[in-house]
Amino acid sequence: AVSPINVSNATWWELERRLCLVFLGKSHSSSQVHEMVIHGLEDAGPDNPKLDALRRTATSSRDAIYAGDFEQLGRAMQENTEAQRALHPALISRDAQQIIDIAREYGALGWKVNGAGGEGGSLTLLTGPSMSEKRAMLRAIEETNPLYQNIPVYLSRYGLRVWACEGKG
């Protein structure tokens, strides 16, 4: 089930201020890696500890956001990334790992490979409270590889909305 997370404006705005979305320079391509992951889990069943680790990080992330605990959210993001890596090392690409290493150097609290991992796509970073550190980190990331791009983040309280226009003009 999907349900909205309702938190105070202060928590919402601080989360939005601390998040970074970094495009890895190429579109997401994970089919080959997914085949390897699926092959590795064929006989595992739904209670496999590797899958349970991913489930726990979702709950931990939700609870951290409700509490306004950005350090806990960062830990949950890191745990999710490591749970992905445990499914198959190729889910965390070299590009993603390079950005993670830079983020760690600049004191980021958390990082998470978006989507299903593999080559390309994007990575979300959660920084500490210092915006000068955040800016320096993003500069370092973009200087490391000109294909890496910071994409400004705006969190919507409503999620994706779609509507149809009827009539002409």
* Predicted confidence (pLDDT) per residue in 123-144, tens digit: 999 999 999 999 999 999 999 9
CATH number at residue 66: 3.30.70.890
Assigned domain for 158 exists: no
Residues 6+ apart with CB under 8 A from 25: 95, 120, 145, 147, 148, 149
What's the rounded Cα separation, in Å, for the pair 73 and 59?
A: 10
Beta carbons of 83 and 53 less than 8 angstroms apart: yes
β-pairing, 19-23 with 122-126? antiparallel
Assigned domain for 156 exists: no
* pLDDT at residue 159, as a whole number: 78
* The total number of residues written for the chain in this structure: 169
pLDDT profile of the chain (169 residues), mean per 10: 85 97 84 65 71 89 97 97 88 95 98 84 97 98 97 87 80
Beta carbons of 91 and 37 less than 8 angstroms apart: yes
The number of folded domains in the chain is 1
Return the SS3 of 166: coil
Beta carbons of 109 and 70 less than 8 angstroms apart: yes
* pLDDT at residue 152, as a whole number: 95
What's the rounded Cα separation, in Å, for the pair 19 and 158?
A: 18
N-terminal to C-terminal alpha carbon distance within the chain = 38
Strand partners, 126: 19, 110
Tokens read off for 149: 């791009």
Beta carbons of 124 and 77 less than 8 angstroms apart: yes
H or E stretch including 83? helix 70-87
Assigned domain for 127 exists: yes
Residue 16 domain boundaries: 12-151
Instruction: Tell me the whole-structure pTM to 2 decimals.
Output: 0.86
Beta carbons of 113 and 91 less than 8 angstroms apart: yes
